[in-house]
Amino acid sequence: MSTHTPALQALDHHDDAEQLAQQAREAADEAQVGWEQFERLIAEDMRVEPRDWMPADYRKTLVRQISQHAHSEIIGMQPEGNWITRAPSLKRKAVLMAKVQDEAGHGLYLYSAAETLGTPRDEVLDQLYSGRAKYSSIFNYPARTWADVGAIGWLVDGAAITNQVPLCRASYGPYGRAMVRICKEESFHQRQGWEILYALSHGTEAQKQMAQDAVNRTYGPALQMFGPPDDESPNSQQSMAWNIKRFSNDELRQRFVDMIVPQAEALGLTLPDPDLKWNEERGHYDYGALDWDEFFAVIKGEGPLNHQRLAHYRRARDEGAWVREAAAAYAAKQAQRRSAEETLLSA
Ligand SMILES: [Fe+2]
Ligand SMILES: [Fe+2]
C-alpha cells in the first residue's frame, strides 16, 4: 500500500507516464537508426550480420529460404544414398559416400545460419518432421538406375551451383559465407555426375541408353529447380531488392540451359526438348515450355515419392533420438563438472 497522499500519487503516475513515453521515444529512435543503417548496408552492397538491426520481413524471408535450402540438402541425400550399397565399384562407392556426406554437411551449415537469425534448430527440424516445411521438389522423384546418380550430379547439382554461386554474395553474412564452401563442394558433385554419364555413354549400347533415359527423366524437373517463371514468383522482387537474390528465376534457368547444352554434346547425349535451339538474336538457347502443373502438384505433396521421403526422414530422426539425448546428457554433465571445478578453484 502506498503511503503517498493522492497528490503525490498523481505525481508518481505522471513520472511513470513520462518515463514510458521517453522509453518509447528512445526505442523509435533506435529503430530509425537501425533502419537507416540497414538501408545503407544494402545500398552499398555490404553484409548484414546477426547483431545488426534488420526488418522483420527480411529476417522472415531469410529463415524461410535458408531452412528450405537446408531441408533440400537433407532430403536430397535419400535418392543417392539408396545407391551407395549398389555402386558399381569400390571407387564409385567411396566417391558417392563422400558426396552424400557433403550434402549432410551443407544441411548443417545452413541450419546453423538459420539459428543466427534467432530460430532454434529444433523449430525448423520440427517443421520438416511434421510435413509443414517445403524442400526442393526434385527430390521427390525416384533414382531408378545407376545412371540417375550421374544425372542427379550433372543436372541437379549443376542447377544448384547455378542458383547458389550468386548467393555467395547474399547480403546476409552467415548465409553468403556458408554458400562459398557449399559451392566448392557442389562443383565437385557436378563433375562426378558428368563423369558417371560420360563413362556410361561411352560404354555398351545398353549403358548409353540407360544414361539417356536418366537424362530424359531429370532434365525437366532440374529446370524447374529455379522456381516458377518470373511473373508467377511474387517474393523474388523483394529478395532482389534486399540483395539476397541477384538474378531472377528465368535468368538463372537461361544461364543453366546455356551451360548444359554444350556439356550434353560433349557427353554424346541429347536433351529431351524438341524446342531447344540457339537463338542468334538473343545470344541464348531457346527452350520449350515446362510442365508447371506437375511442378505445383509435387510441391503440394503429390510427387511420386513425397510420402516415402518424409517417412524415411521421420524414421531416421526417431531412431537417432537416443544419440541426441545421450550427447545432450553428456554435454550437461561436462558443464556441471566444469562449474563445480570452477567453484572449488575460486573458493
Ligand atoms: Fe549440397
Ligand atoms: Fe551437391
SS (H, E, C) 190-255: HHHHHHHHHHHHCCCHHHHHHHHHHHHHHHHHHHHCCCCCHHHCCCHHHHHHCCCCCCCHHHHHHH
31 CA distance to ligand 1 middle (Å):
37
Distance between CA atoms of 290 and 293, rounded to whole angstroms? 9
SS3 286: strand
Cα–chain center distance at 199: 30
Distance 103 CA to ligand 2 centre (A): 6
Distance, in Å, from the CA atom of 71 to the CA atom of 137, rounded to the nearest integer, reads: 11
C-alpha of residue 187 to centroid of ligand 2, in Å: 8
Residue 21 has pLDDT above 90, yes or no: no
Residue 149, helix vs strand vs coil: helix
Judged by its nearest atom, the ligand closest to the C-alpha of residue 152 is 2
Q: Band the pLDDT of 1: cuts 50, 70, 90.
A: very low
Q: What is the pLDDT of residue 116?
A: 97
Average pLDDT, the chain: 93
Distance 13 CA to ligand 2 centre (A): 62
The rounded Å distance from CA 4 to ligand 2 centre is 71
* 57 alpha carbon – ligand 1 mean position (Å): 26
CA distances from 29 to 36, 146, 283 (A): 11, 61, 51
Record the cell numbers describing residue 133, joined without a space: 516445411
- Looking at residue 307, its amino acid is H
pLDDT per position as a tens digit, 24-33: 888 777 778 8
Which pLDDT tens digit goes with each residue over 196-251?
Answer: 999 999 999 999 999 999 999 999 999 999 999 998 887 888 999 999 999 999 99
Task: Give the ligand whose atoms come closest to the C-alpha of residue 71.
Answer: 1
* C-alpha cell, 80: 543417392
Element (H or E) spanning 12, and its range? Answer: helix 6-43
Residue 186 CA to ligand 1 center (angstroms) comes to: 6
pLDDT given for residue 2 in this prediction:
45
pLDDT band at 8 (very low <50, low <70, confident <90, very high): low
d(CA 46, ligand 2 centre) in Å: 28
